[in-house]
Structure 1
Amino acid sequence: MGRKLKNQVPCMHVAQLLSLLVLMFLSTAKADYVEIRSTGSSVIGGTINFTAVLYDDGQVASTGNYMFNWEDNTAVGNHAEINTKYPYSNWSVTYPMNTTKPGDYRVTLKVDKSYVFWINIASNHIDYKLDDSLGGDMLLIQNDTKRKNNYVSTVKPVNHTILLRPSDAKLLAEKAYEVQTYWFRNCTYIGVINGLSYIAQYTEADQNYKIEALVVANFEKPPEPPTTTSTTTTTTTTPKPTTTTTSKPTTTTPKPSTTTSTPSHVNVTTPTQKQRRRRGAVAPALLKGKVENQPLPSNLTITAGVDSNATKVKLPLSLSPLLMDKESPYNCLTGQLKREPNKLTGLFKHYVVSKAPVSDFKASGQNWLQRGDMLRLQINCKGSPSLEMCIQVYNAPYNATGNEICRYYFPLETCEYNYTRFFYESKTVLFFIRNEVSEKLNQVTINMYEAKVQSQLSVVVVPVSFTLIAVILIVFGVSYYIQSRNRFTVEVADFNFGDTQSVDMEYKTFQQRLIDSIREVLPWRRRYSEFGSDIEPEFDHNGAIGGTFDNNDGHQRQVAAEDNENNATTSATNGNVNIDSNLRYNSLN
C-alpha cells in the first residue's frame, strides 16, 4: 500500500501541472478576438463573401497554425474548415435560387490554434438576410454629383440610377440574360428601358414627384434565333471518327465531357459565340461600380437596346427614350406584382422635389463712402425657398477664391436683404446665399475716402441774400416816403390887405425868427433885410449901408410904416393897385 501511494503522488503532480498549463492556454486564448465582415444581405441565388481577422490585445495576431471553422444555419448547413498560418480567412457561400428559402440567417466562426493540440482561442458570429427580391437604392445624380436628399434643380437633367447590392449586381452580371426597368411617375406608368437608369429634367419649380422603378432580371435562356444553311459541295477525305464520353466525379452533380465528331461530306453551320450572349444583359462595370465615386459624363444618354420601331411616349419632362410596347408586371395603385419563374424583381422608390436654384444674385447700393458714412446695401436674388444667407468680412483688398467656407447661416423668408453697417476702413464683404440645390457667392468691395471739409453754400448764400433784400426794402421804403410827401405838398397864399402892424412877424419864416432871437441874445445884432437875408448888408433909404440902429421898437415900426407907405404911393403913381409889398408865400409842407 505504501508503494502504491508513493507512485500515485507523482502522477497527481503531473495532472495538476497539466491542468495549470491548460488554464494558462485558455486564459491566453481568451485575450484573442476575431472580427467578421460580409458583403451584406443578398438575393436568393447570389453569393455572400465573409472575411475574418484575428486580433491579439488590439493588434492583428502574429502568424501561427490556425484553424478557421465556418458554419451557417441554413437548411443545407454549409460549413468549411480552413487551415492557414495567417490570422485572417475568407469564405464565400452561394445560395441556390431553387433550394434556399428567404429569411434571416447567421454564420458562426470558431478559431482554433495549434499548440501541442488544438485549442479554441476565439469565436464570433454575424447575421445576414436572404431575400427573394433584388435590393439596393435609387440614386439621383445631377451635375455629376449624387444628391443627398430629395431636392433637384430645375435647370439640370437628373439621372435616376438603380445601385444594386454588390452580391445582387454580381449575380445579374454573371447569370442574367436580360435586365429591364419599368418606370413610374406619381403612380403612372411611363415606360420601360433596358438597363438600370434613365434621365429626366424637372422644369417646373416647387413640385413633388414619386418615382418608382421595377427591375426585372430574366435568368431563362432565350430561344436561339433560326439559322440559315447554305448548300455547298465540299470533297474531303477524313477517317471515321470515334465518339467517347467521360465524366469527372465530384461531390456535386457530374458534368459530362462530350466530344462530337463530324461525318464526312456533311455541311454544318455552327452558331458563333456572339449569338449566345445574353440579350439585354447589363455590363458588369455598371453593376459593380459605385456611382458616387464615378462621375457620369455630361452627355450621358440611355439608348442601348432601344428598338427603332418601338413607340415612344412624350412626357412633360425631358426624358430619355422609354418603350411602351410592354405591359408592366406591377400595378402601382394596388401594389400587386406579377412574379414569374426564373425571374428576379426588385422595386425601388424615391421622392423628388424640384427647386429653382439661386440666380440673379446682386447687391445694389453705394460702395464708395466718405469716412464716417453708413454703408447701406440692398441684396436681391431669385430662387426657391428655403433660403439661407451668411456674411463674411475681409480687409480690403481681397479677391474671393470660391473655396471660402461660411459657418453661420441665417434663414431668409424672401430673397431680399438690407445690409447696413458702419466701416471705418475699406473692407470686402462676401455674401453667401444657398438653398437645397445651389449656393451662390457675391463679393462687394467697400472703398473709404476722405474729402476736404468746406463750408456749405447755404451758410454764405442765405445771409447775403437776406441782407440784399433788407437793403432793397429800405431803399424802396425811403423813396416811397419821399414821393408821398412831395405828392401832398400844400401851397398857401397869404394876402393881407388890412393892418400891417404885425407885418414884421408875418413875412419872417420860423428860421428867420429863430435867428433873430439868437441875435438878440448876443451883444451884437444885425438888421435883417426885408427879404430876410443875413448875408447881404441892409441899405437905408438914403443908400447908406447899415442904416440907423435903434433899440426902440416903436421907432422901428414907424420906419417900417413909412417905407410901406412910400412903396404904396409909388406903386399907386405907377398905376398899380395898393397892395402890401411885404406879401410873402409860405409853403407848408
Structure 2
Amino acid sequence: MGLCYEILVLKLILLLRVNASYHVEITNNAPIVLGATVQFKAELFEKDGSILRAPTGIFRFDWKDNAIPSHEGSFEGDFATSTWNTTYSKELYGPGWYTVQVTVYKKFLFFYSIASRRQDFNITSFFNGKLGLTQNNTTVQGPYISSTTEVIHKINLNEADAQFINTSAIQVITYWFVDCIYYGMTTDLTFAFNYTDAVDQDRDVKALVVASDVPLTTIPPSTLSTLIPNISTTTPSSPIPNITTVAPNSTKFLEPVSNFSLHSTVPFVCLNSSIIPPDPSKTYGYFFRTLKVKAPVSNIVVSGARWLHDGELLNLGVSCNGSSPYTYCVDIIPGEYNVTGNETCHKERLISECQLNISHYFRTTNMSTVVIIIKNEVTKKIASAVINIYKVAKQPQLSVIIVPVSCCALAVVLIVFGIAYYVQSRKRYTIEVADFDFSQASDMEYMTFTDRLKDSINRALNRTRE
C-alpha cells in the first residue's frame, strides 16, 4: 500500500512539473570587492519566456553557494522573485570565482522542485570600476582628449563597491600619477589636470585608491631617486612641505611632486600594478588609462570672393589649425543660414592637412550659404560663408557696332572708287574707228534728211529680223 502511494505521488509530481514548465534566471552585482555584500536576484519565468507576474500558489527559493564555509538561505511566500544578500569577509574568504545555486519549489500538498539554476560570480581583491574623463562637461568615451581644455579624472566605482566604501571606509585617499610622475593625493576620487604641453603625445594616467576603516596618515613628499620596487624611507635634505588634505566632493589642482620617495605605507603602482604592500586593514583599487592628446580644430579661415556674377564659378579656400587627421564635408544651403552647431555630415572626406578648395557652379542667381564642417578626434568646428550671385545686364559691345559699320563704309568707298576708276579707264582707252570703203568707185548719192531717216529705219528693221 505504501509503495502504491509513493508511486502515485511521484507520478503526480512529474505531471505537475511537466504542466508547469517554469525556469529561473539569476542576476547579481558582481564583480565586487572582497568584504562587500553580493546581491543575488532570482526571477521565475513561465514556459513562454514571460516573467511570472501574478504567481498562483506558494513558492520557496533555496539559495546556496560553494564557499567554505558556505552560505545558505531560504525564502518562502506567494512571490516569483527572490533576493539574497551575502557578505564575503576578508577574514574568512579570499578573492576568486564562486558559484551560487538557487532551487525553486512550489507547494501542492507538499513542496516539489520546479526549476533550478547555477551562476558563477567573481570576488576581487581590488575595487572594481573605471577611470572616467570629462571635458567641457562631456564624458570622454575614447582615448582622445583636447590639449586646450582641462580634464577632470574621476574614479567611477561599481555601485556595490561604492556602497561598500560609503558604509565601511572611514577614509579614502587616491594617489595620482601621470607618466609615473606623482602629482599628489585627493580624497574625493577626482583629479583635475591640463595636458597643454603634450600635443600629439600619449600620456599614461594611473590612480591608486586606498580605503581604510582606520584613519590614514597623510604622506608628505620626500626624496626619490629612481622608481624601483624596493621601497625605503629617506630623510629629505630640504624642509618637507605640508600637503593640504582635500575636502570631500572637491577638486584640487595638483602640481608634480619632484624629489620624493614613496613612503613605506604608499603603494607602488608605476612599475608593476601587482606590487602593493599587503595590509589587512586597507582595501585597494588600481585604475589606469592611456590618453592621446590632440590639438582641437581652430582658426578656420575661409578666403575667396563672396559676390559672384551669374555664370561665375565659386572658388573658396579653407585652412585651419589642429591635430591631423581631419574629416570634412561641405553643404550648400539656399538662402541665408545661421549655424546652430548641431549640423552633421552625411558624407565625410578624410584629409591629412587642413587645406582644401571648394568649387561650385550656381545655376540660379539667388543667395546661398556654404556650410563647412571640419572635425578631428577631439573637436568639431563649423564655418559658413554667404554667397551672393547677381545678374549683369548684357549690353552690346562697342566693337559689335563699329566693326560692321566701318566695314560697310569701307566697302562702299571701294565700290565707288572702283566704278570711277573703271569709267575713267574706259574713257582713256576708247578708240573711235571709222570704216571707209575706198574700193567703191561710185560716189555717195545725195540723200535728203527724210531719205536718210527712212533708210536708217529700214536698216534697223532688217537687223531685227536677222
The two structures have a TM-score, normalised by structure 2, of 0.72
Q: Give 2:252's match in structure 1, choosing from 302, 306, 315.
A: 302
Matched with 1:382 is 321
Q: 2: CA distance between counterparts of 1:412 and 1:102?
A: 50
Change (3 A) 1:80 1:444: same
Matched with 1:291 is none
Q: Give 1:438's match in structure 2, choosing from 367, 373, 379.
A: 379
Offset at residue 41 of structure 1 (A): 1.1
Matched with 2:49 is 58
Matched with 1:405 is 344
Bigger drift between 132-141 and 20-29 goes to 20-29
SS state at 1:167 partner: helix
Matched with 2:134 is 141
Q: 2: CA distance between counterparts of 1:171 and 1:182?
A: 20
For the pair 1:422 / 2:361, whether they are aligned, the reply is yes
Offset at residue 457 of structure 1 (A): 5.8
Matched with 1:372 is 311
Change (3 A) 1:441 1:222: closer
For the pair 1:104 / 2:42, whether they are aligned, the reply is no
Q: Give 2:32's match in structure 1, choosing from 16, 20, 42.
A: 42
Offset at residue 34 of structure 1 (A): 1.8
Q: Which amino acid aligns with 2:28?
A: S
For the pair 1:395 / 2:331, whether they are aligned, the reply is no
Change (3 A) 1:454 1:281: closer
Structure 2 spans left out of the alignment, 5+ residues: 218-244, 411-433, 435-466
Q: Does structure 2 conserve the Cα–Cα contact (< 8 Å) formed by 1:357 and 1:437?
A: yes
Q: Which amino acid aligns with 2:356?
A: Y
For the pair 1:177 / 2:170, whether they are aligned, the reply is yes
Q: Does structure 2 conserve the Cα–Cα contact (< 8 Å) formed by 1:368 and 1:447?
A: yes
Change (3 A) 1:352 1:222: closer
Matched with 1:217 is 211
Matched with 1:345 is 284
SS state at 2:214 partner: coil
CA offsets, 1:551-572, max 9 Å, x none? Answer: xxxxxxxxxxxxxxxxxxxxxx
Paired positions, count: 376
Change (3 A) 1:462 1:171: farther
Q: Does structure 1 conserve the Cα–Cα contact (< 8 Å) formed by 2:171 and 2:215?
A: no
Offset at residue 428 of structure 1 (A): 2.9
CA offsets, 1:93-124, max 9 Å, x none? Answer: 11111111111011111111112322222222
CA offsets, 1:179-227, max 9 Å, x none? Answer: 111121212223223331210001132121111111111223579xxxx
Q: Which amino acid aligns with 2:388?
A: N
Q: Which amino acid aligns with 1:451?
A: V
Q: Does structure 2 conserve the Cα–Cα contact (< 8 Å) formed by 1:107 and 1:125?
A: yes
Matched with 1:208 is 202
CA offsets, 1:429-467, max 9 Å, x none? Answer: 32211111111112233333322112346667899999x
Matched with 1:28 is 19
Q: Which amino acid aligns with 1:149?
A: G
Q: Which amino acid aligns with 2:19?
A: T
Q: 1: CA distance between counterparts of 2:317 and 2:33?
A: 58
Q: Does structure 2 conserve the Cα–Cα contact (< 8 Å) formed by 1:192 and 1:323?
A: no
CA offsets, 1:135-155, max 9 Å, x none? Answer: 211111111111111111112
CA offsets, 1:321-373, max 9 Å, x none? Answer: x9979733205235532222311112111111211111112322223322322
Q: Which amino acid aligns with 2:200?
A: D
SS state at 1:60 partner: coil
Offset at residue 52 of structure 1 (A): 1.8
For the pair 1:329 / 2:323, whether they are aligned, the reply is no
CA offsets, 1:231-288, max 9 Å, x none? Answer: xxxxxxxxxxxxxxxxxxxxxxxxxxxxxxxxxxxxxxxxxxxxxxxxx8996xx7xx
Q: Does structure 2 conserve the Cα–Cα contact (< 8 Å) formed by 1:173 and 1:281?
A: no
Q: 1: CA distance between counterparts of 2:210 and 2:397?
A: 85
CA offsets, 1:522-547, max 9 Å, x none? Answer: xxxxxxxxxxxxxxxxxxxxxxxxxx
Offset at residue 384 of structure 1 (A): 0.8
Q: Does structure 2 conserve the Cα–Cα contact (< 8 Å) formed by 1:69 and 1:80?
A: yes
Q: Does structure 2 conserve the Cα–Cα contact (< 8 Å) formed by 1:191 and 1:324?
A: no
Q: Does structure 1 conserve the Cα–Cα contact (< 8 Å) formed by 2:183 and 2:256?
A: no
Q: Does structure 2 conserve the Cα–Cα contact (< 8 Å) formed by 1:176 and 1:218?
A: yes
Q: 2: CA distance between counterparts of 1:75 and 1:163?
A: 31
Q: Which amino acid aligns with 1:103?
A: G
Offset at residue 28 of structure 1 (A): 2.5
Q: 2: CA distance between counterparts of 1:282 and 1:18?
A: 68
Q: Which amino acid aligns with 1:43?
A: V
Q: Does structure 2 conserve the Cα–Cα contact (< 8 Å) formed by 1:184 and 1:212?
A: yes
Q: Which amino acid aligns with 2:93?
A: T
Q: 1: CA distance between counterparts of 2:362 and 2:207?
A: 57
Structure 1 spans left out of the alignment, 5+ residues: 1-7, 224-279, 287-299, 304-311, 316-321, 471-520, 522-589
Q: Which amino acid aligns with 1:407?
A: H
Q: Does structure 1 conserve the Cα–Cα contact (< 8 Å) formed by 2:371 and 2:383?
A: yes
SS state at 2:161 partner: helix
Q: Give 1:198's match in structure 2, choosing from 172, 182, 191.
A: 191
Q: 1: CA distance between counterparts of 2:162 and 2:96?
A: 20
Matched with 1:166 is 159
SS state at 1:27 partner: helix
Mapping of residues 229-240 of structure 1, within 5 Å: none
Q: Does structure 2 conserve the Cα–Cα contact (< 8 Å) formed by 1:191 and 1:323?
A: no
SS state at 2:15 partner: helix
Q: 1: CA distance between counterparts of 2:261 and 2:186?
A: 10
Structure with the higher fraction of residues in strand conformation: 2
Q: Which amino acid aligns with 2:268?
A: Y
Q: Which amino acid aligns with 2:14?
A: L
Q: 1: CA distance between counterparts of 2:397 and 2:278?
A: 91
Q: 1: CA distance between counterparts of 2:63 and 2:179?
A: 47
Offset at residue 386 of structure 1 (A): 1.8
Q: 1: CA distance between counterparts of 2:375 and 2:216?
A: 52
Offset at residue 419 of structure 1 (A): 1.0
Q: Does structure 1 conserve the Cα–Cα contact (< 8 Å) formed by 2:30 and 2:123?
A: no
Q: Which amino acid aligns with 1:365?
A: G
CA offsets, 1:497-551, max 9 Å, x none? Answer: xxxxxxxxxxxxxxxxxxxxxxxx9xxxxxxxxxxxxxxxxxxxxxxxxxxxxxx
The two structures have a TM-score, normalised by structure 1, of 0.58
Q: 2: CA distance between counterparts of 1:19 and 1:68?
A: 21
Q: Does structure 2 conserve the Cα–Cα contact (< 8 Å) formed by 1:40 and 1:48?
A: yes
Matched with 1:123 is 116
Change (3 A) 1:313 1:391: closer
Q: Does structure 2 conserve the Cα–Cα contact (< 8 Å) formed by 1:390 and 1:433?
A: yes
Q: 1: CA distance between counterparts of 2:270 and 2:95?
A: 24
Q: Does structure 1 conserve the Cα–Cα contact (< 8 Å) formed by 2:133 and 2:154?
A: yes
Q: 2: CA distance between counterparts of 1:368 and 1:449?
A: 8
Q: Which amino acid aligns with 1:39?
A: N
Q: 2: CA distance between counterparts of 1:460 and 1:207?
A: 71
Matched with 2:440 is none
Q: 1: CA distance between counterparts of 2:287 and 2:216?
A: 26
Identity of aligned residues (%): 32
